[in-house]
Amino acid sequence: MDQIVIRGGNPLKGRIPISGAKNSALTLLPCALLTDEPLTLRNLPRLADVDSFGHLLNQLGATTMIEGSHPQDFGRVMTIRASRITATMAPYDIVRKMRASILVLGPLLARTGEATVSLPGGCAIGNRPIDLHLKALEAFGAEIEIAAGYVKAVAPGGRLAGGTYRFPVVSVGATENALMAAALAKGTCVIENAAREPEIVDLCKCLVAMGASIDGIGGATLTIEGRDRLHGATYNVMPDRIEAGSYACAALITGGEIDLVGARIDEMQATVDALIDAGATVEQRGDAVHVGSNGKLRGINLTTAPYPGFATDMQAQFMAMLTLAEGASVLTETIFENRYMHVPELARMGADIRVDGHTAIVRGVDGLKGAPVMATDLRASMSLIIAGLAAEGETQVSRIYHLDRGYERLEEKLQAVGADIERIDGG
């Protein structure tokens, strides 16, 4: 099994290109199922999850073509064409690897009138039920049955009728599925208490480019006037605000400064605010967001929340950074109930962290020590990389397949800004 080996202590300095957003790419790919014309996505990150989603689309009858794919390049251009849907079942062997596969449910149902999708897998970071996905589709007219580990959805008469659904709690994935399903409904669909993440806005903009009618983009109420058909489009995937925030934490824990090329402050404002509170300088400089150390890091209090609050996907990276901050930090996780699995691994490196239910108290220490550690999920694995970059000695991170799901060419980007990091082939 491959490992990443880090010899810590080098301040990171230079420019890091920010890739297309994983969480947006995995939402835009299934949009191709809504039309028989080509959908071309630019700035698509080279990630294992993107490849897996492409394989799933192939199984459903879509063709995928990658243009100008060179190993030295970041990002790709992919054209997906679902001229004809040849299967309406997303099987367990693919869906179990990636939770985002559930996002084919809405577009398949909208396009063909039926869909059968395995219950999803993905990172083991807590209970993430899909009941809100199903309730929204039912509100739009779907008939749904769950049996033998599969969801079977049918639109009577071949198309969803339309309707209104108010989410009892904000759900990004359920909002995405509902949006795509609504785009081809016979009537009007209204989504209330919708997620407002930049990735949701990205999805709305892509659907509008394909001919969808969506009112209220960026707000908590979305009104979709169903269309008889959508057409093809070319669309650029937004930059990854989570990747940008992760590299910002890496720069600060090492006492360095970097330019996050392509990042947008307005899409990661909660992360920027937290960085500044912790003692960083953050400013837009031309095509990049500049992040620099402003002396010693200081402890802060953070609570994860739906956008525009502080993202749960940034919690682990901030925790790693704050292990070397002056004073104590208090982190409260409100989104997922099992997202502190990185704590024992950070403790192996000398971090002082105590977990009490949903709250973690991080007391800054004078230094971290390199150690063998094991990644437990995508963002937890990045927290270990961040800690290793500042630790004395050598850190070996195992189970790095998690990293490959969400960070494009990570070791190359970090090497370019001065990190002593390499991937060791486990054979």
Feature table: binding site for UDP-N-acetyl-alpha-D-glucosamine = 99, 128-132, 313, 335
Give the sign of the dihedral formed by CA 193, CA 196, CA 202, CA 205: positive
Calculate the dihedral angle through the C-alpha atoms of 144, 149, 150, 151, rounding to the nearest 10 degrees.
Answer: 30
DSSP 212-236: -EEESTTSSEEEEE--S----EEEE
E-state strands within 109-254 = 114-118, 143-147, 150-154, 163-166, 188-192, 213-215, 221-225, 233-236
Catalytic residue status for 206: no
Q: Parallel, antiparallel, or unpaired: how do β-strands 359-363 and 328-332 relate?
A: antiparallel
Our CA dihedral for 206, 208, 213, 218, rounded to 10 degrees, sits at 60
Which position among 123, 189, 204, 206 bears the catalytic label? Answer: 123
CB contact set of 59 (below 8 Å; sequence gap of 6+):
87, 90, 91, 94
CA distance linking residue 341 with residue 329, whole number of Å: 18
CA 274 to centroid of chain Cα atoms: 19
List binding-site positions for phosphoenolpyruvate: 22-23
Residues annotated within the binding site are: 22-23, 99, 128-132, 313, 335
Task: Give Cα 14 to chain centroid, integer Å.
Answer: 25
Known catalytic residues?
123
